[in-house]
Amino acid sequence: MTQEPPRRDNRQPVEIRPAEISLKEDERLDDLQRNGYRIIQNPKKFCFGMDAVLLTGFAHARPQDRLLDLGTGTGIIPILMEAKYGCAHLTGLEIQADSADMAARSVALNGLADKIDIITGDIREADRIFPAASFDCITCNPPYMIGEHGIANPETPKAIARHEILCTFEDVAGQAAKLLKPGGHFFLVHRPFRLAEIVVELTRHKLEPKRMQLAYPYADREPNMVLLEAVRGGRPRMRVEKPLIVFREPGVYMPEIREVYGY
């Protein structure tokens, strides 16, 4: 097993022994249809969506890469990235202890404890948890909405996952820039209405946008997701890929989406 980069504080991975794996109240076990992997989720708190799956289809990694997922939630992105690309080691950072616990149990359930670490910690303090320039790839499915507008309870897991309550995109970009190796790749999914702000923030942190793809729910609708790849210290030049259409009709995925899912 490849040695993990040393941490700069005393935080340790959330460790779960196989004998301890069990479902808690309101949790369910979902089949990821990749390598026989499954994931533990709680619909009353938060479940992964299409955006996380599309990000793993858009992102790429090499078998020797070390990958960090910022705000990993229940660990969907590290698990799917390991299924698709292997990677030498993967780490998920998650501030919510309940989500981190579900992620760690899913990692153990799939026999991936030697390859994937789940760390409970704050994105804003990521540079104090991990050494600088220690990752080849960073992925992130960040909160999309600005502030707490329209939130009934800002302390709920769903609110924290969807709104910039505990971190902003500036925090995400700044930490990615510190933790990526020179030439390292940053992959993210966000909402198109914030695209101008996102590009400005990325370039301000010397994360040069290199690839972009817009995702549309249907061919005749406006895009509701944007996928971006940026390179730390890259040269200016961005390729815009052909649009990604998710559904042919309600409940029927387009062939490209089936390829992303791995059916």
CA dist list (Å): 25 to 22, 37, 49: 10, 21, 21
pLDDT confidence of residue 9: 45
- Three-class secondary structure of residue 227 per DSSP: strand
| pLDDT the model gives residue 47 | 87
pLDDT at res. 144: 60
pLDDT in tens, 38-96: 999 999 888 888 999 999 999 999 999 999 999 999 999 999 999 999 999 999 999 98
pTM score of the predicted model: 0.87
DSSP codes, 82-133: HHHH--SEEEEEES-HHHHHHHHHHHHHTT-TTTEEEEE--GGGHHHHS-TT
Q: What is the pLDDT of residue 155?
A: 52
Compute the chain's Rg from CA coordinates. 17
Quick check: 238 and 244 in contact, CB under 8 A?
no
Q: Which residues of the chain have pLDDT under 70?
A: 1-20, 144-166, 261-263
**Tokens 């479902």 appear where?**
23
What was the pLDDT predicted at 44? 87
59, 92, 130 from 123: Cα distances, Å = 20, 11, 11
Q: Which of the listed CATH numbers 3.30.420.40, 3.40.50.150, 3.40.50.300, 3.90.420.10 matches domain 46-261?
A: 3.40.50.150
Supply the pLDDT for residue 60: 96
Q: What is the pLDDT of residues 93-107, one digit of tens each?
A: 999 899 999 999 999
Please check whether residue 218 is in contact with residue 245, taking contact to mean a CB–CB distance below 8 angstroms.
Answer: yes
pLDDT value at position 2? Answer: 41
Predicted local confidence at residue 141, as pLDDT: 93
The predicted pLDDT at position 165 comes to 52
